[in-house]
Amino acid sequence: MALVIASLMIAYPVVASSTPLASTNSGRSSLIPPTPFPTPPPTGEQIILTSTSGQFFNLSSDRAITFFGPAAGTMTLTVTNRPVTVATSLAMVYTLSVTAGSVTLGSTTLALTGGSAFMNPLQSIILGSGTVEGGTFIFRALSLAPSVRSIHPLNFSLLLIHIHVGGHYYFVLLHVKTTVIPPSA
């Protein structure tokens, strides 16, 4: 702990100085390059997440894993409107709706019957919730390739779904590929 405090004390004068540690001819710091926001997705655009591999885990009431097996699934999200400012922060987000999909846990397939979600401005994270046959789910889709995201922002790699059906809790981990369909004219 003392080493961490000493390191911070030594680094503070350098960090607090008004002279940038590295700069370009334009005077902007080159240590952290600016991240441009991607073009906003148009209303009606569909984002389809399709699994390439996956696993599910059945969690008991005491949160112990009681069973696991192969999982597969697909989820279609539709952009419902332009950016919205979230009341709790100054961040802009895009709203989406879950319009189709299913999740297969072993030999059981559950249809996703609806839901809603938010996507961050960098289009790299989607958080949402919805309903399945006889239950509910929450999910998040994550992009794990920032260099690819800068070329094509809607490139999700991982879909995590928590499902509650009939007194059972399932955690689903899917590796996914992303397909983007522009809105019809």
Q: How confident is the model at residue 157 (pLDDT cuts 50, 70, 90)?
A: confident
- Report the mean per-residue pLDDT for the chain: 77
Q: How confident is the model at residue 185 (pLDDT cuts 50, 70, 90)?
A: low
Q: How confident is the model at residue 24 (pLDDT cuts 50, 70, 90)?
A: very low
Q: What is the pLDDT of residues 88-140, one digit of tens each?
A: 555 678 899 999 999 999 999 999 999 999 988 778 889 999 999 999 999 99
Burial (CB count within 10 angstroms: exposed 0-12, middle 13-18, buried 19+), residue 80:
middle
Domains within the chain, CATH numbers bracketed: 46-181 (2.40.128)
Beta bridge partners of 91: none
Query: How is residue 34 annotated by DSSP?
Result: -
pTM score, whole prediction: 0.73
Interior angle at CA 72, CA 146 and CA 175, nearest 5:
15
